[in-house]
A and B are shown apart, each in its own frame.
Chain A
Amino acid sequence: MFDTLGDRLNKALDGVRGSGNLTEDQVKKVTREIRLALLEADVNYGVVKEFVSNVRERATGAEVSKALSPGQQVVKIVDEELANLMGGTAHKLSFASRPPTVVMLAGLNGHGKTTTAGKLALFVRKLGKNPYLVACDTYRPAAIDQLQQIGRELSVPVYTEGTGPRPEEIAERGIKEARDGGYDFVIVDTAGRQVVDMEMMEEIRRVRKVSRPHSVLLVLDVVTGQNAVEVAQAFQEYADFDGMVLTKLDGDARGGAALSVVSVTGRPVKFASEGEKMGEFDYFYPDRMAGRILGMGDVLTLIEKAEQQMDQTAAEAQGKKLMSGKFTFEDFLQQMQMIKKMGPLSGLLGMIPGLNKQLKDVEIDDRQLGRVEAMITSMTVKERRNPKLLQNPSRARRIARGSGATQQDVQKLVKQFNEMQKMMRQMGKGGGMPRIPGLSGRR
C-alpha cells in the first residue's frame, strides 16, 4: 500500500546523481515526499511541519556523495533527524533504592493497559524482581477478572477490592499490601479514560498522588492517529507520565504517533509491546522505530532476535552438518523450532529490508511451518535420520495419515528436502553462503 520513503525519494530525484549539491527545486520535491510519508505514517501534522523544515535546512546545499544515491542521502538525513528526535538509546528500567518500585499505567480505553501490566510483570520477574499487580480499573466490566486471569497465568499475585472502593483507595492499600508482603515491584493498572472526561482525569491525578509511583507509563496503541498529541498533553498534565509503552506493534501501523508524542512531550518511549503472548515485550529501541515510520525495515531487531533464540554453538554445529549434506529431518525439525521461537514468520520477514516491500502483498502462513512439523513428527526416528526410506509409498501414506496431510504433501516435502540437501552439499563444496533454513519454505 505504501511505497517506502526511499522509493519515493529516488523517484522524485530521478536522474540526479553525483552532480554536486541538491538544488532548491530538488529539495522542494524531496520535502514534499517526506511530508506525505510522515503524514501517512500518522505523525501529527504540526510535528511534520517542524520536522520537514529541519530536514529542508540540512538538505539544501547538501553535497551529493558518490556512494549514495541522492534519494538515499536524503533518507539518511531524515533517518538521523528522526533518531535524534526519538532519543538515541533505549531507556532501561531503574529500580527504587528502597523497594518496592511502583509503576503506574495510564491511557485511553482499549490501548492495552491490562495486558501491558501482565507483560511488565513477567518482564521484571525475568530481571529478578518479585512483581505484584494492583487492579484499579473499577469501571470496565470484567477488567479485574482479566487482570486476575493474567496474574494466575504468570503466578503473580493480584490485589483487588472489586469495583466498590475508589481507585485511589485500592491503589494505596494495594501498595501497602505489596510492601508488607515483601514484593519489590508493584504495577498499578488503571481504567482506560478519555482525556475530555474531567472527572476521570482528576481521578488519575488522585491515583498518581497516593501511589507516589517511581514511574508513570502512558500506554499508547501504535495505530493512534493525529490526536495522539492532545492525548499525550492531557495525560502529561494529569498523570505526569515519564515514558510510554507502545502497544500492538505486531500490526502494520507505521506508528507515527510515537514520534508526535515524543516531540511534543519530550517523554521517551520506554517499552515496545508486540503481540498477545505475555513474553512479547521489550525495551524500546528508538533508532529502530525511525526505520519503521519510514518503512525501511529493521535489520537490527532481526539480528538480535536471532541471536537471542539460537544457541550459537548448536547453530554452528548444524551449519557444518548442513554443508556436509548429512542434514536430516531431525535437524530440520530442530531448526524449525528455533525459528518458531523467534515469533511469527511474517513479522520476521517484515524486518528484512527490501523483503518488506516484495512481501507487502504476500501473505505468509505461519501454519505451513506447523504442517511441516506435524509431518516430521509423524516419522519414525529411523525415517527422520534416513529420508531415503520415505520413498516407500506405504511409509508416506502412514505419515500422511498421522499428520493429517495428504500423501502428495509428504512426497513433496521429501522431494524438497532431498533437493535442499543436494544444494547444501554443493554449496558446502563450493564454500557458498549458508542461509537460514526454513525460510525457503513452501507457500
Chain B
Amino acid sequence: MARSWRNFFRKSTDEEPEKGQAVASPPEGAEEGNGHRSQEVVPDEEIGSAVPTAEEVQAGRKEPAPADEWEVEEPSLADETLPEPSPAEAETEAQAVAEAQESSGWLGRLRQGLSRSRASFVGQLNAAVAEFRDVEDDEFWERVEEIMIASDVGVPTTARLVAELEQEALEKNITSGTELRELMIDHATRMLEGPVELDISHTPTVILMVGVNGTGKTTTIGKLSRFLPGTTMFAAGDTFRAAAIEQLQTWGERTGTPVVARERGADAAAVAHESIQAARRTGTDVLLIDTAGRLHTKVNLMAELDKVQRVIQRQMPGAPHEVLMTVDATTGQNGLRQAQMFKEVAGLTGIILTKLDGTAKGGIALAIANEVGVPIKLISVGEKVEDLHPFDAREFAEALFGDL
C-alpha cells in the first residue's frame, strides 16, 4: 500500500498522454540555437567568468574546506573529475535506499512522526468518535471541527469537510464511530489525491525548487537527488543568503553530484542559464535548480523568480518540467497565501511538505489541496535522506486521523 519510489518517476511521456508536455526536448541542433539566442539575456562574458574563486566564496573559513574540487564545480569538467555513478548504479542505489526504507515501514515512521507528541490529539478524536451516537449531535461535529482546526486544516476547508461528512453520514445512516472515521479518511483522501509522479522524461529534466525562507529547499534537493534515477546536477540559484551556495555544495559532495555555482550576489537567472548549458553538455538526466527563499509578498523577489523561469523557458522550451514548492509543516494558514502566490508566479506542479517530524500535523496540506489545487508530491518526515517519501493521500489521511 505504501507508495514506492519505483513508480514515482515518470520517464516516458506516453504513459500519461493527457499530462504529457506538448514540447518534447528539442533535437541537438535546436538546442544550440536556443542556447545561442538566450545569450541576450545573459551576456557571454558573464558566463565565461562565471565561476567564483574559492576565496570569494570561502574567505574566512577557518576549517579546511572539505575536498576542494567540490567547492566550485566547473561544469565542463564534470565527467572527468567526478565519481559520477552510472545511471544503472544510481538506480540500484535508489532502490536499495527505497527498500531499506520500506522494510523499516515508512508508514510507521510517518505515523510516529505525526503522532509522537500528539497522543492527546488522537485521544481526543478517539474519545469523540467513541461518543458518537447520531448524526444530529451538534456537539460532536463541533469537536470534529476543533480537532481539524487544531491540525492547521483551517476554517474553510474544515467547514467543507465537516459539511460533506455530515451529509454523507446522514444519507448512509451511520451509527458507529468506526464507520464514521472510515468516512472521514475517505473524504480527506479524496481531497488530497492528485498526480504525484515527477515527470523526468526529458533530457535534461529541469526541476526548479521554490519556496519561502527556511522551508527546506536546499535540503530537499539534496535528499531528492539520492532517489532520482540517472545522473543529476545541482544549480546553486540561491545567490542571496549567506552560505546558501556552500550548503548546496556540501550536499553535492555528500551525494556525488556536480554543482554549478557562481559567486554570492550573482544573477540567479544567469546561474540557471549556465546550469542548463552544463547539463546539456554533460548529458545530465536531471537538473535540480535551487532558488533563494523569498516571501511571497515581496514583489521584487517574485519578479526575479519570474525572470529565472523565463530564462529557463527561453533556453529550453517546456522547461522547467517540474516546479516544486517546499512548505514547512509547521506553517499555519499563511501557507495558503504562499502557495497561491507561488502558483501564480511560478506555475507550481507540486508541493513538498517538509519537517513533518515535529509536532505539526501538516493539516495545511489539506487546505492547500482543497483551496489552491496544487498536488502534494513528496513529504519529508525526518532529517535523514531516507526520510523523504512520495506522498500517499490515504496514508496521510490515516495518519492525520489516527489509528482506528
Contact = CB atoms under 8 A, between A and B. Distances in A.
Interface of A: 1, 36, 39-42, 44-46, 108-112, 114, 140-150, 152-153, 160, 162-163, 194-197, 221-228, 230-231, 234, 248, 250-254, 256-257, 276, 344, 346, 363-367
Interface in B46-85: 58-63
Contacts of B109: none
B334 A276 contact: no
A63 to B, nearest CB: 31
Contact of A225 (B254, B330, B338): B330
B35 interface: no
B213 A112 contact: yes
B63 A227 contact: no
A339 to B, nearest CB: 16
Contacts of B41: none
Given A39-B149, A142-B244, A254-B334, 10 more contacts: A110-B328, A144-B63, A145-B58, A152-B60, A196-B358, A222-B334, A231-B358, A251-B295, A252-B296, A367-B303
A196 B116 CA distance: 7
Residue with the greatest number of chain B CB neighbours at <10 A, chosen from A114, A145, A363: A145
Given A45-B146, A112-B214, A251 B296 contact: yes
Contacts of B297: 250-252, 346
Interface residues of B, number: 61
B250 A142 contact: yes
B366 to A, nearest CB: 12
Contacts of A224: 330-332
Interface in B278-321: 295-300, 303
Contacts, number: 183
Nearest to A109: B355
Contacts of A152: 59-60
Chain A interface helix/strand/loop/mixed: loop
B187 to A, nearest CB: 21
A226 B152 contact: yes
Contacts of A150: 242
A313 B246 CA distance: 47
Contacts of B150: 44-46, 226
Contact of A227 (B334, B338, B359): B359
A346 B296 CA distance: 12
A171 B151 CA distance: 36
Contact of B334 (A146, A162, A223, A228): A223
B330 A108 contact: yes
Nearest to B250: A141
Residue with the greatest number of chain A CB neighbours at <10 A, chosen from B155, B254, B359: B359
A160 B62 CA distance: 8
* Shortest 3 CB-CB contacts between residues of A and residues of B: A225-B332, A110-B214, A42-B332
Contacts of B264: 149
Nearest to A110: B214
Contact of A256 (B59, B63, B214, B332): B332
